[in-house]
Chains A and B, each alone.
Chain A
Amino acid sequence: MGQRQGSAATDAREVTRITDGSRDGPGHGKDDQVPGPYAYTVWFVCTLLEATVLVCAVRKNAFRRYLLLNLYMAASVVASIARYNILSHYGYSSKEYLYFYYYSDFLLTILLFFALTSLYSHIFAELEVGRYIRTGAMVLLSGTALFSYAVVQQSSSRLVTHFVVEISQNLYFVGLVLTYVLWGAVLKLRETRTRLIQLILSIGVYFSMFAANYALQNLYQSRASIFEYLTPLFGCFLPLSWAYAFWRIPEEARTVPARLAVVPR
């Protein structure tokens, strides 16, 4: 997820083409398509930033406090290394790389979803509603999965692969709505922890950038090449802002959330 190389709306079409065997790849013949220097550079920078988040969190004693956020970053680094290995062994156009890319992305999206619910737990810690948050998250995840299944089952012969792509995209939008609700709770409950506020706002910016990006890709499918440059850049935002929050903002820092709202409260 962090180091997406392709555009997601074209992703589904790519899956169809490759799984239908209408495109060349190691399984089908030549393997001449590779990521360019730009994609490699952004990928490397993004992975480096994800590792930086972990280092910053450990150095500032925030690893255990924000365990799921850090686990997500650790998983992103591992996925990135594994993707590079598979890419160098099998090639960019191979089924192996494609399947690994989408299935790892699917797992990372779910992990990010749970990281977001852990932020809910931080905000509602004093109300002791952790059990309800976990139940709510599971219900929402199941609902999104069912909706995604309903969407793909009518139109696809490669059900599982299409399902994986569809649910990842839908979870981004669900994540965006959940972050907005969480931001509302921050303002309502007058949460003052600056670091926590910055982590939430960063995830909100990240989800909304990707959700807008997916929607734009669906609307302007003919301009896919623009998104191939933009999408990986968006992926760098979350590790960059989290690294900043862990490194620069002390856990004790406090801010008045009402001052941050767009509409004054």
Chain B
Amino acid sequence: MNTASSMSIFLNAALINNFVLAMFLGICPFLGVSSKVDTALRMGGAVTFVMLVSSVCAYGINKALIFIGAPYLQLIAYIVVIASSVQLVEMIIKKFSPALFRALGIFLPLITTNCAILGVALFQTAKQYDFIQSLSYAAGAGVGFIIALVLMAGMRERLELSSVSSVVQGAAVTLILAGILSMAFMGFAGMAS
């Protein structure tokens, strides 16, 4: 059993081992939907929500799989759970808040193939977190994802206005920017106890 406190788990997932910048999970949306700050915020919110839901589900599934003695089904069960919870979230949002549903658009179904979500489920199992610890881990990962995405979007909005040599434009400069951001986040390493 892991005895780390919820607060340290939260900070660890959000800052020290930031999901995007230190563990490279969820790079696709990080590069794909980080061109505007408000889209980045919405995407981050949706991802955090799905992370929390699938973290709770993964906790239950893991207990059930250990009970029936079939840990090799873990990966298959997790991915099915995530896909169906994304579907569920999509239906709920569509019913209760059509405006939000339209705003999120294509991002919602794409969350299924976001490795950060599966990453939360896998890591919380590997680290043997209990229920509360799992929840704070998922919340921390989601907050870390939002921070990285919004910072990146802010930098890219500035980049639009500056003159960049045509050779560097596009993915190359985005990646080098991400590298600098990642270096800045290495500064949080000192917070680890």
On whether the two chains bind one another, the answer is: no
> Measuring CB to CB, which residues of chain A are less than 8 angstroms from any residue of chain B?
none
